Each structure stands twice: as C-alpha cells, then as structure tokens.
Structure 1
Amino acid sequence: MLKIKLLYFMDIKTLVNLTSRAWSLNILALLHSGVPGRQAPLLEATPASRTSFSASLDHLVQLKLIERNPGHGHPLRPEFRLTPAGREAAIVAHRIMAAVPDDKELALLRRNWTVPILALVKKPKRFSILKSDLAPITDRALSNSLHQLEDRNWVKREIELSARAPFPTYCAANKGADINHAIALRG
C-alpha cells in the first residue's frame, strides 16, 4: 500500500496517485472548506457524474485520505471525514483548486497528468527529465498534456540553444505558475 507522508507538501509519486481520479482534488478541497462529508452535498458541489464521483471517493478511501465517519450516516449513504494525512492533503488540494476558480479551466486541472506536470516545471525542464520524473507516463500522454498546457498558456515552451543540439524546455507560466506555487513538492 502507498504510504503517504504529507506536511503541507507531497512527493511527486503521491501527487500522481492522488490525481489519477478526476474528482479527487475537488473532493478534498470541498471537505477542507467545510462541505458536509455526505455524498449528496459533495456531489451537488461538483458537476461530476455519480459514477466518476464515486470512483474518486473510493480512490480517496483506498489512499487513506478519507474514511467513513463511524457512527454517522446510513450504511447506504455513509458520511466521510478526512484522516490526518487527508487533512494535510486537503490543504494542498484547496490551494490548487483556489488557483483556478474558472469552471472551464477546471476541466484541464482534472486531467490525469496536469497537476503532476505543473508541479515539476517550476524551472525549465526537458521532456526526457519530465518523463523520467513521471515514471509511468508514456511519451504520447506527456506530449499531449504539454500541448494542452501550452495551448492554455499554463506552460511556456522555449528552445535551449546553449547545447550542441538545441532542445525544448518547459516551464510553468501564468495559471500554471500559480498552481505550481500552490503545490509544495518535497525534494
């Protein structure tokens, strides 16, 4: 099982695992902001489908970031609460969600690799470095994600000419830089 150690920051593997479900960050941010831990109020606060929302909720339970609140809720309609690790992850999730208040931009934020990529591009990085830091990502997924982030101006692509063979580097910009600042990565 993935061991999660957070203290207002997280490592990249934890961030990749956390963001592998579309609504995970949103659920944590909502619980942090005081939305009741029942499924109905949480679901109402998001435009998620029941299936996708439920998968994200189950994912957070598996990561031990939320748990059923013992003695509260109906067996078919349980109430959830943040675990100690979940409270710390929720602070980070809330900061990330606050950096992008626009609903249209939230769609990009919910994509699998957006947040982990933005977490890594505080300083310019090469494609190969990003790929090795995001170990399970494929070339195609990284390339598509970088193109989407460039199209929204969340990442800036520049050509590094100082080496013998020029190569592109990617760096967070605009909203991407705001999201990068909201995430405090360890190491």
Structure 2
Amino acid sequence: MQITNAEFYKSVYKYEDCPRLQQPEVAFSGRSNVGKSSLINRLTRQKKLARTSNTPGRTQCLNYFNVDDKFYLVDLPGYGFANVPQKVKDDWAELIDTYLNYRENLIGVVQIIDSRHKPTKDDKMMVEWLQASGLSYLIAATKVDKISNNKKAKQKKLIYKELNLIEEDNFTFFSAQTGEGSREVYEYLDFLLQLANKDRG
C-alpha cells in the first residue's frame, strides 16, 4: 500500500453522528498516550494529521481521516486514562463499544499497545473482545525503538502470553521514529481492503 493523501474528515462525539459513507473503515485503538497519533502520522507521512500530545486523554471522540478516498481511518478515544471524571470515561466507553459493535463499515482494528511494558488490564480486555468478536485485528506494539534487540524477543513472548495470542495472529513491532513495522501495517490494511472489495463484488 502506498498512501498518497490523507486528510481529516470529521470528529464524532455521539455514535448517531457517525457519517454515512460508502468506503470501509479501519479503527485504531489503544490506551491513552500509547503513541496512537504518532503511528497514524507515520503511516500517512504527515507529521500533524493526528494531533500528538504529552497529555493523556487528548483524543475524546472518533476522529475520521479520509485515506486516498479508499477507506477511512478512525482514531478511537484512548482508554485507561484515570484523570478524567467518571462520567466522561463512561461516555468514551459507550461510544467505543457502540461503534465497535454496530458500525457496519468497520472491517478491522489496529490494536496498539506499548512494546516496553506488560499489557495492561484494559489492553487485555480489548483484545479479548476482539478475539470474541470475530473482527479482524492487528496488534501493533509501539515504541520498539526504546527497547534493545535482545529484549524484543522477550517482550514479544510476554505479550503473546498475556494476550493469549497464537502464532497465526497478526502482530508487529512498530516505531514512529524509525518506521519499523510500517510495511507490516500497510500489508494488513491492503489485506483488509482486498477482502472488503471481494465481499462487495
């Protein structure tokens, strides 16, 4: 896949405000401050497409990005952020849950975790839901440039164990700094779009 153009389309705070679209959608999910925006910016080759912030919880809605008029990349609110009112967290959870369960345009999820650490309780819950849903997903373990090559194998083994992954599961390490893992994510997006086009045909 070669992304030549990506642009912001719309922010959605309530599920009923999701746009009516013909193109498929791929959701990008992960806990707050995991590097989701940086990953999106790296993939689209635009430094400021998705706003990055050192303040967890910056993404508070579904952010839609039009990618080459082929599909929409949907940036979900980061989960697991404690320093917001419970009502806000509940609203985020409801928005994410409703979108993932009922959005017919959704064809897959890129689930983002931090390669440096053991998957969190929220990471586990999210992956368990994906595994039960039958929805296609890719695990992207970010910030891999922060760990040594010797530790990568150890971290991958830990991640697979904690998330109950098997060898056939889609997994890649990723670095927004070096670009490592970009090819694997592009290939996954290509795979999803080919399936979607086949189903439409």
Same-fold status (TM-score > 0.5)? no
More strand by percentage: 2
Q: TM-score by structure 2 length?
A: 0.28
More helix by percentage: 1
Higher relative contact order (CA 8 A, sep 6+): 1
Q: TM-score by structure 1 length?
A: 0.29
Q: Which has the larger radius of gyration?
A: 1
